[in-house]
Chain A
């Protein structure tokens, strides 16, 4: 326990020092994206990894947060930090509605995945047609650099905000793993009926999980808009965000604290290195990326963390066996 805290403090210290050492805008941007998608994956992980409810439409929360942020700034002149609170609320509400409707009627597994996908698609179509979202042309937020306005002249500013989000998401996951709430989420994931027989309000817990996931992804939407100054229906509600959120969790390890973070780091490293290394063969990087994905999924069904754990267990077993033999 004390060692974990020490490791955490050292890691955080190093992470804080990164912008002082890394001056390259390219690398800082990449690191920021790694943290950001790790954060989004972390929100997916609460619902998909711990509660076992696979969302395929995580963009519904993210996009709502992004649009709420942009619209409140443009139409009411609201400060983006304040708008973030509304984005969190918006994400929570979308989570509550989707969760209530699907869990009330007992949708599970692939049905739940499909209904979340359907919701994000409906929202995408609405955003494409509605006036307030400026249709398919999207929204550009007013530029006004400064910490107070959640816009930074240097990449380091965004890096620090993404790092804060990451720390929050890791803390939430850690809290879930060490609480009754989290234990009950996992019980629901493993066997809903057995959980209910043991006093777990399965409906309530799933609803709480999707609401928390929605809140976190909503805040992620704010971050995205403030970093890129722009949002449109395809970015906000398209499948890219949904897939990325679940992919980093699955690659890293579902239902683990560090899984989504690790998955995001690995996926972005692989994605970017293949793109950098294969500039003369267009499309080849995606092929390689795909092959690597398949290999990871084939040989590490429990993600990188799961693979590392079983490796550690095997090594420990061998060491234990050697000790008892000697």
Chain B
């Protein structure tokens, strides 16, 4: 579905993304995790055409989309959401989602009908005719998801759609994402809410200081010494093993 090969991007002297390669197989939910500043959002921006990489290629369903115009990438079926939500605040929720729907539907009426249908999938039906400006944080996150979904993508790039949500809200989004995948959409997500990541994804890539330091199934990643070190600092893995063997650790 998606093949990223040796992608790099520097800002001044900082290598934000350094020689990253990764693959997303069709029908999967893949997570991209890593500490703050690891380069996750930069990587997303390069995949979706919002940043031009210094080196490397992005191939989506057999097409090289490196450096392609953003709207063309969306038309091909790869759509992103924004970590800092970007609703069209002057428009209603229905009109917001319809913008996404217009990628496949030229007629206004069809796009508005599609918007209502997508709103139901992300549980925004009750707010359909409210101005987007009036939505709560959780509502805005869902709107972000809904607009992307309305473009009928093949691959959905979700940038922290659960950040700032309550546990109940997070649980709802987890279910929504599962339903999206079940409908045949491949998902690549950036997420900090670890519990959700572990439950949702089948494959995890860990990014730290612009490099992929580990990848594998959630269970492997949770036990990976380099991952633990990236998150908790140098020597953390060794200390955890030590505390676990002496029986004083609490297992987290």
In the complex, the number of residue pairs spanning A and B with C-beta atoms less than 8 Å apart equals: 77
Q: How far is the CA of A178 from the CA of B89 in the complex (A)?
A: 19
User: Among the listed stretches B2-10, B29-37, B69-77, B215-223, which one makes contact with chain A, having 4 or more residues with CB under 8 Å of it?
Assistant: B69-77
Please state if B106 and A197 are interface contacts (CB–CB under 8 Å).
no
Q: Tell whether A186 is near chain B: CB-to-CB under 8 Å.
A: yes
Chain A: minimal CB distance from B177 (Å): 18
Q: What does DSSP make chain A's interface, helix, strand, loop or mixed? A: helix
Please state if B108 and A179 are interface contacts (CB–CB under 8 Å).
yes
Please state if B82 and A186 are interface contacts (CB–CB under 8 Å).
no
Q: How far is the CA of A183 from the CA of B105 in the complex (A)?
A: 12
Please state if B99 and A183 are interface contacts (CB–CB under 8 Å).
yes
Please state if B71 and A202 are interface contacts (CB–CB under 8 Å).
yes
Q: Indicate with 1 or 0, residue by residue over A205-241, a CB within 8 angstroms of chain B CB atoms.
A: 0000000000000000000000000000000000000
Please state if B102 and A190 are interface contacts (CB–CB under 8 Å).
no
Please judge, given known A-B contacts A187-B99, A194-B82, A199-B100, whether A178 and B108 are in contact too, CB under 8 Å.
yes
Please state if B74 and A180 are interface contacts (CB–CB under 8 Å).
no
Please state if A183 and B71 are interface contacts (CB–CB under 8 Å).
no
Please judge, given known A-B contacts A198-B147, A199-B151, whether A183 and B111 are in contact too, CB under 8 Å.
yes
Q: Tell whether B91 is near chain A: CB-to-CB under 8 Å.
A: yes
Q: How far is the CA of A201 from the CA of B89 in the complex (A)?
A: 20
Q: Tell whether B148 is near chain A: CB-to-CB under 8 Å.
A: yes
Chain B: minimal CB distance from A37 (Å): 26
Candidates A190, A193, A200; contact of B91 at CB < 8 Å: A190
Candidates A178, A184, A193, A201; contact of B99 at CB < 8 Å: A184
Most buried by B among A178, A183, A189: A183
Please state if B70 and A194 are interface contacts (CB–CB under 8 Å).
no
Q: Tell whether B190 is near chain A: CB-to-CB under 8 Å.
A: no
- Residues of A with C-beta under 8 A to B50: 193, 197
- Residues of A with C-beta under 8 A to B89: 190-191
Chain A: minimal CB distance from B208 (Å): 27
Q: How far is the CA of A191 from the CA of B95 in the complex (A)?
A: 13
Within 8 A of A (CB), among B161-178: none
Q: How far is the CA of A190 from the CA of B131 in the complex (A)?
A: 13
Q: Tell whether B79 is near chain A: CB-to-CB under 8 Å.
A: yes
Within 8 A of A (CB), among B54-102: 69-71, 74-75, 79-82, 86-91, 95, 98-100, 102
Most buried by B among A178, A179, A189, A196: A196
Candidates A189, A193, A199, A202; contact of B103 at CB < 8 Å: A199
Please state if B100 and A198 are interface contacts (CB–CB under 8 Å).
yes
Chain B: minimal CB distance from A272 (Å): 34
Candidates B69, B81, B86, B111; contact of A191 at CB < 8 Å: B86
Please state if A196 and B90 are interface contacts (CB–CB under 8 Å).
no
Q: Tell whether A195 is near chain B: CB-to-CB under 8 Å.
A: yes
Candidates A190, A194, A197; contact of B90 at CB < 8 Å: A190
Q: Tell whether B186 is near chain A: CB-to-CB under 8 Å.
A: no
Please state if B98 and A183 are interface contacts (CB–CB under 8 Å).
yes
- Residues of B with C-beta under 8 A to A196: 70-71, 74
Within 8 A of B (CB), among A154-204: 178-180, 183-184, 186-187, 189-191, 193-202
Closest residue of chain B to A177 (Cβ to Cβ) is: B108
Please judge, given known A-B contacts A180-B111, A198-B74, whether A191 and B103 are in contact too, CB under 8 Å.
no
- Residues of A with C-beta under 8 A to B99: 183-184, 187, 195, 198, 200
Please judge, given known A-B contacts A183-B95, A190-B91, whether A197 and B74 are in contact too, CB under 8 Å.
yes
- Residues of A with C-beta under 8 A to B105: 180
Candidates B74, B81, B86; contact of A199 at CB < 8 Å: B74
Q: Lowest 5 A-B CB distances belong to which pairs?
A: A190-B88, A199-B74, A199-B103, A194-B86, A196-B70
- List A residues at the B interface (Cβ < 8 Å): 178-180, 183-184, 186-187, 189-191, 193-202
* 6 A-B pairs in the complex with CB atoms less than 8 angstroms apart: A183-B98, A194-B82, A194-B87, A198-B148, A199-B103, A201-B69
